[in-house]
Amino acid sequence: MRITVIGTGYLGATHAACLAEIGFEVLGIDTDAAKVAALNAGVLPFHEPDLPGLLRKHTESGRLRFSTSMEEAANFADVHFLAVGTPQSGHAGRADMSQIDGAFRSLLGQISHDALIIGKSTVPVGTARRLASMARKLGPTGAEIQVAWNPEFLREGYAVQDTLRPDRLVFGTDQPGPLGVLRSVYAQAIAAGTPVVETDFETAELVKVAANAFLATKISFINAFSEITETAGGDISTLADAIGMDARIGRRFLNAGLGFGGGCLPKDIRALQARTQELGLDLTMDFLSAVDQVNLRRRDKVVELVEQTLGGSDISAKVAVLGASFKPESDDVRDSPALDVAARLDGLGYEVCVYDPIAQESARRRCPQLEYPDTMEEAVAGAEMVLLLTEWQQFRTLQPADLDSLVSGRRILDGRNVLDAATWLDAGWQLMQLGRKTEP
Ligand code: NAD
């Protein structure tokens, strides 16, 4: 089977390379000519473990190539995955559907025979039905254009393994025809035991946003308790361990800290609220505003702690920020809490040096006003305060001796609660963690 993947960002490039790995002939389509050129040259324009190898392997074998031409896409295959972006729009948190609608219309305009268009992007409920109706109105005469929705749950940093061995597959359709195609595309994962949920359009769309809303809520839930322990006393990590021992709750996604960011959770909870309001359900997802606010207040808290610690007097003090990506193992800086805090401190007049093992370039593009030295040692040299804001493995294992002779002030704010407090306090450092009292 030949397959196209339209939109070759984090999701689409991964999906295209994994489909080639499974054995399909794949054409990836993107409007960004520079991205297409890089991908055709076997160069991944972002960081994702294991993906560069797959991309090189299959661009070299000829099983995977990329193009900007939708006409080529329409002629190449009868099965098309839609993986374009659905970023936040300027309107009350609503999803910007211009990439979805643009790509869908443009493909429809080129197709001349029966085809199946499978949405993978995260979309407001109602999108698949709307596109299916658009296909009936605008599609070629004499040909049937079917639509299915197959939301994606991959995690950046684990995208290849999540794509090849997903936890579950969700197939949303309004007729049985596309199910056979979906089952053959995913035959390997299904044979390996991946559960499949076959359902209608709306459920499929909602499974994705519900999963993200739940995860965001879990993170903000524990971070709200951090606000309590910071005021009333108590230790957030012990609290999380203890409630996490209840199998009904579970310990994962209960790590208190600087909160969530990235290109999915923040915009997905806002888009869900906006969509429910459009549906007349004004209060239904109201709690997600609180989830969002708790999350953003963690960033305020870190900025406040820096100001309190450095006294506000030496406003030009050097602050070293360790981590720029929104999470480890990714160079994605979209709505990154670390970079947001760094930019705010820069705005307050601090000299901010950011070091991230992988995301230096994407961070520089997004926040060019900050300094990005080549090494962690340069970033922390002469710093009055070190902020650990993304929990890369190399920062988790930091020891006081790694920084002792470099910094000007032995002060560290561990925004991810990953450092061993006793080690740092015993070495004479002032250590701050979120939701935990760490003064000696
Ligand atoms: P992205 O911005 O990295 O990629 C989108 C790509 O689509 C870009 O390369 C863009 O140039 C291209 N594009 C835009 N309009 C186009 C058009 N008309 N024709 C062809 N290409 C076009 O976004 P992403 O992170 O890959 O996310 C894509 C979708 O997948 C979003 O809905 C997102 O919510 C969802 N998703 C993302 C992840 C993730 O971890 N990144 C995980 C699950 C779901």
In this structure, which residue's CA is closest to atom 17 in ligand 1? 103
**Which class is domain 208-291?**
mainly alpha
Could you give the CA distance from residue 189 to residue 421 in angstroms, rounded to a whole number? 43
Kindly indicate whether the domain formed by 297-433 is annotated with CATH number 3.40.50.2300.
no
If one residue of 67, 84, 154 were mutated to test the ligand 1 pocket, choosing by the most ligand atoms within 8 A of its CB, it would be 84
Is residue 391 in contact with ligand 1, taking CB distance under 6 Å?
no
| Token couple for 371 | 């300094």
Is residue 221 in contact with ligand 1, taking CB distance under 6 Å?
no
If one residue of 14, 30, 335 were mutated to test the ligand 1 pocket, choosing by the most ligand atoms within 8 A of its CB, it would be 30
**Contact 434/257 with Cβ under 8 angstroms?**
yes
Per-residue model confidence as pLDDT tens digits over 53-109:
999 999 999 999 999 999 999 999 999 999 999 999 988 899 999 999 999 999 999
Is residue 86 in contact with ligand 1, taking CB distance under 6 Å?
yes
253 is in an annotated binding site: yes
Coil, helix or strand for 177?
A: helix
Per-residue model confidence as pLDDT tens digits over 139-197:
999 999 999 999 999 999 999 999 999 999 999 999 999 999 999 999 999 999 999 99
Phi/psi zone of residue 163: left (φ > 0), alpha (ψ -120 to 50 degrees), beta? alpha
**Contact 231/224 with Cβ under 8 angstroms?**
no
Could you give the CA distance from residue 97 to residue 341 in angstroms, rounded to a whole number? 29
Kindly indicate whether the domain formed by 2-197 is annotated with CATH number 3.40.50.720.
yes
Query: Which stretch of DSSP H or E encloses residue 25?
Result: strand 25-29
Per-residue model confidence as pLDDT tens digits over 251-270:
999 999 999 999 999 999 99
DSSP line for 305-350: HHHHHSTTT-TT-EEEEE--SSSTT----TT-HHHHHHHHHHHTT-
pLDDT, mean of residues 211-218: 98
DSSP 8-state class, residue 140: P
437 is in an annotated binding site: no
In this structure, which residue's CA is closest to atom 44 in ligand 1? 152
In this structure, which residue's CA is closest to atom 9 in ligand 1? 9
pLDDT at 316: 85
pLDDT, mean of residues 293-314: 91
DSSP 8-state class, residue 389: -
Q: Which amino acid belongs to residue 431?
A: L
**Contact 331/361 with Cβ under 8 angstroms?**
yes
Q: Give this prediction's pTM.
A: 0.96
- What is the distance in A from the centroid of ligand 1 to the CA of 9? 5
Phi/psi zone of residue 146: left (φ > 0), alpha (ψ -120 to 50 degrees), beta? beta
**Contact 19/302 with Cβ under 8 angstroms?**
no
CA 156 to ligand 1: nearest atom: 40
Could you give the CA distance from residue 380 to residue 353 in angstroms, rounded to a whole number? 8
356 is in an annotated binding site: no
pLDDT at 61: 95
72 is in an annotated binding site: no
Q: Could you tell me which of 259, 409, 400, 394 has the C-alpha nearest to residue 338?
A: 259
- Numbered ranges of CATH 3.40.50.720 in the chain: 2-197, 297-433
30 is in an annotated binding site: yes
Could you give the CA distance from residue 7 to residue 119 in angstroms, rounded to a whole number? 11
pLDDT at 214: 98
pLDDT at 91: 84
257 is in an annotated binding site: yes
More confident residue, 315 or 384: 384
- Numbered ranges of CATH 1.10.1040.10 in the chain: 208-291
Is residue 39 in contact with ligand 1, taking CB distance under 6 Å?
no
pLDDT at 313: 63
Per-residue model confidence as pLDDT tens digits over 11-40:
999 999 999 999 999 999 999 999 999 999
Could you give the CA distance from residue 255 to residue 258 in angstroms, rounded to a whole number? 9
pLDDT at 438: 75
Q: What angle do CA 274, 84, 190 make, to 5 degrees?
A: 100
Is residue 7 in contact with ligand 1, taking CB distance under 6 Å?
yes
If one residue of 4, 11, 81 were mutated to test the ligand 1 pocket, choosing by the most ligand atoms within 8 A of its CB, it would be 11
| Token couple for 302 | 């870190």
Give the CA dihedral 102, 106, 109, 110, nearest 10 degrees.
-160
| 98 contact partners, CB below 8 Å, separation of at least 6 | none
Could you give the CA distance from residue 372 to residue 354 in angstroms, rounded to a whole number? 5
Per-residue model confidence as pLDDT tens digits over 97-150:
999 999 999 999 999 999 999 999 999 999 999 999 999 999 999 999 999 999
- What is the distance in A from the centroid of ligand 1 to the CA of 99? 8
- What is the distance in A from the centroid of ligand 1 to the CA of 421? 40
Burial of 134 (0-12, 13-18, 19+ CB in 10 A): middle
Could you give the CA distance from residue 236 to residue 224 in angstroms, rounded to a whole number? 10
DSSP line for 104-139: HHHHHTT--S-EEEEE-S---TTHHHHHHHHHHHHS
Q: Which amino acid belongs to residue 21?
A: E
pLDDT at 287: 98
pLDDT at 437: 84
Is residue 156 in contact with ligand 1, taking CB distance under 6 Å?
yes
Burial of 45 (0-12, 13-18, 19+ CB in 10 A): middle
In this structure, which residue's CA is closest to atom 38 in ligand 1? 11
- What is the distance in A from the centroid of ligand 1 to the CA of 82? 9
pLDDT at 90: 84
DSSP line for 223-238: HHHHHHHHHH---HHH
Per-residue model confidence as pLDDT tens digits over 335-367:
999 999 999 999 999 999 999 999 999 999 999
pLDDT at 181: 98
Catalytic residue positions, numbered: 264
- What is the distance in A from the centroid of ligand 1 to the CA of 305? 36
Query: Which stretch of DSSP H or E encloses residue 198?
Result: strand 196-199
In this structure, which residue's CA is closest to atom 10 in ligand 1? 7
| Token couple for 410 | 């032995």
**Contact 309/430 with Cβ under 8 angstroms?**
yes
- What is the distance in A from the centroid of ligand 1 to the CA of 84? 4
pLDDT at 390: 98
Say what the ipTM of the complex is: 0.99
- What is the distance in A from the centroid of ligand 1 to the CA of 52? 18
| Res 314 pLDDT > 90 | no
86 is in an annotated binding site: yes
Q: Could you tell me which of 269, 299, 305 has the C-alpha nearest to residue 287?
A: 269
| Res 315 pLDDT > 80 | no
Could you give the CA distance from residue 262 to residue 269 in angstroms, rounded to a whole number? 12
